[in-house]
Amino acid sequence: MLSPLAYGLAVVLSLFVAFIGARFLLVPQAAAAGYGVPARPDGDPAYLTVKGLKDLTFGLLGLALIAFTTADSVAWFMLIVALVPLGDTVIVLRNGGTKAVAFGIHFATAVVVLLDAALLFAL
C-alpha cells in the first residue's frame, strides 16, 4: 500500500516540476507571475529560460530515477531537491512576493516533497 502511494506521489511531483519548467520556456512572463515574483517586461529573459531548463531537467531526472533506480535513490533525490522550493520560498519573500504564495505554494511544495522522501525511505 505504501509503495504505490510513495511512487505515485514521486511521479506526480516530477511531472509537475517538468510542466513548470516547460511553462517557463514557453510562456515565461506568465510563469514568473505564477511563481510569485513577476518578471519585468524589459528584463533579461535568459534568467527565465535558465529557471525553465533547470525545472524541466529536475522533473525529467526524477522520472528517470523512478523508472530505473531504487526507492532509496529516489528518496535521496527528493530529499535534496526539496531545497529548491525551500529556496523559492525565501526568494519570493525577499523580492516582494506575498506570504500566501511563498508559504502556500513553495513551502507547501517543500513539505510534500519531504513527505514523499520519507515515504520512499520507508519502503
Q: Where are the domains of the chain?
A: 2-121
Residue 1 has pLDDT above 90, yes or no: no
Q: What does the DSSP assignment read for 22-88?
A: HHHHHSHHHHHHHHTSPPPTTS-HHHHHHHHHHHHHHHHHHHHHHHHS-HHHHHHHHHHHTHHHHHH
Cell of 58: 529536475
What distance in Å separates the CA atoms of residue 39 and residue 107, rounded to the nearest whole number?
21
Handedness of CA 107, 109, 112, 117 (dihedral sign): negative
Digit-coded pLDDT (tens) for 73-110: 999 999 999 999 999 999 999 999 999 999 999 999 99
pLDDT of amino acid 49: 95
Digit-coded pLDDT (tens) for 35-72: 999 998 887 789 999 999 999 999 999 999 999 999 99
